[in-house]
């Protein structure tokens, strides 16, 4: 999801060499070193991750290989050949115990609740310990036209599965964030030449229930949406109740260009709504 957006945004001004898993399996150290030495990039973006939060609970070996060893390999190769590394992390590194609307800051202690969150925490440590020049961008509640997302799941359930009543949790809070806006922010961070860990989410927050209602209303899709608690929606992996991140360091350095969540979501839905509905009805 993020990879395609970064390619589009940065490709307008830079030469981009986009690699998928068949081009480079980042879990193999020697292949990573060989590829980065051959390509000789100025900046390496790591958009690879095992992001199936529930699946991570039962795929410990794969999660460690992809989410921890892969980033470590990239970080070591970047250090060896003098490349900057951009790594994406998640709001799930925090436990979510803070009272809403108190946000999480970049220097708050990491205490993940899930295997996915632990793997992303370990990935951050791997990047910080091995890369000399890096940017870690923590984000969350992502949506876009590529890959799985909350928006596509909601529309799929309503338009394809024809669910008569949609139950959505109202005790999980975060900031819906368009991947396109994250890519634009990444571009600004690279231009500024900064290093470090930054929170990158849209401004403001909502519950997943509020998010779902806004999506359907904006697209003119009629559906009965009922709120429920996380305890009523048992999943293999625990989710934080509070996923609100404050873009404090972006603001401190005068670099924050992240828009308000609702206005950015409206722009996305106005641009892509028809295609989203079409895909949902077809079962995509």
The helix/strand/coil state of 132 is coil
**DSSP bridge pairs for 209:** none
Q: Are 142 and 2 in contact (CB under 8 A)?
A: yes
**DSSP bridge pairs for 207:** 173
Q: Are 12 and 6 in contact (CB under 8 A)?
A: no
Distance CA 195, CA 158 (A): 43
Contacts (Cβ under 8 Å, ≥6 apart) of 79: 130, 131, 132
Q: How far is CA 44 from CA 29, 32, 34, 284, in A?
A: 15, 11, 14, 31
- Catalytic: which of 116, 143, 180, 198? 116
Distance CA 243, CA 236 (A): 18
The helix/strand/coil state of 277 is helix
> How many residues appear in the chain?
284
Distance CA 34, CA 16 (A): 18
Half-sphere exposure for 126 (CA within 13 Å, toward CB): 26
Q: Are 63 and 51 in contact (CB under 8 A)?
A: no
Which is nearest to 84 in space by CA: 190, 3, 241, 7? 190
Active site residue 116: yes
User: Cα 168 from chain centroid?
Assistant: 20
**Any idea which residues carry the catalytic annotation?**
116
């Amino acid at each position: 999801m993020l990879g395609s957006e970064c390619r589009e945004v940065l490709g307008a001004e830079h030469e981009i060499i986009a690699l998928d898993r068949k081009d480079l399996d980042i879990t193999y150290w020697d292949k990573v070193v060989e590829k980065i030495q051959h390509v000789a990039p100025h900046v390496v973006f790591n958009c690879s991750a095992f992001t199936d939060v529930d699946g991570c609970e039962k795929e410990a070996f794969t999660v460690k290989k992809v989410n921890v060893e892969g980033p470590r390999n990239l970080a070591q190769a970047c250090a060896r050949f003098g490349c900057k590394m951009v790594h994406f992390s998640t709001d799930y590194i925090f436990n979510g115990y803070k009272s809403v609307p108190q946000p999480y800051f970049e220097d708050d202690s990491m205490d993940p609740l899930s295997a996915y969150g632990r793997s992303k925490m370990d990935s951050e440590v791997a990047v910080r310990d091995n890369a000399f020049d890096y940017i870690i961008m923590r984000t969350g509640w992502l949506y876009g036209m590529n890959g799985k997302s909350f928006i596509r799941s909601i529309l799929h359930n309503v338009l394809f599965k024809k669910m008569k009543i949609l139950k959505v949790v109202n005790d999980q809070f975060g900031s819906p964030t368009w991947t396109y806006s994250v890519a634009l922010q990444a571009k600004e961070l690279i231009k500024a030449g900064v290093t470090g860990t930054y929170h990158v989410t849209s401004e403001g927050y909502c519950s997943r229930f509020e998010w779902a209602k806004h999506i359907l209303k904006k697209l003119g899709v009629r559906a009965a949406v009922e709120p429920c608690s996380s305890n009523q929606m048992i999943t293999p992996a625990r989710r934080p109740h509070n996923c609100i991140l404050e873009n404090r360091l972006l603001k401190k350095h005068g670099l924050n260009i992240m828009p308000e969540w609702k206005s950015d979501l409206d722009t996305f839905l106005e641009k892509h709504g028809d295609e989203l509905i079409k895909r949902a009805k077809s079962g995509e």
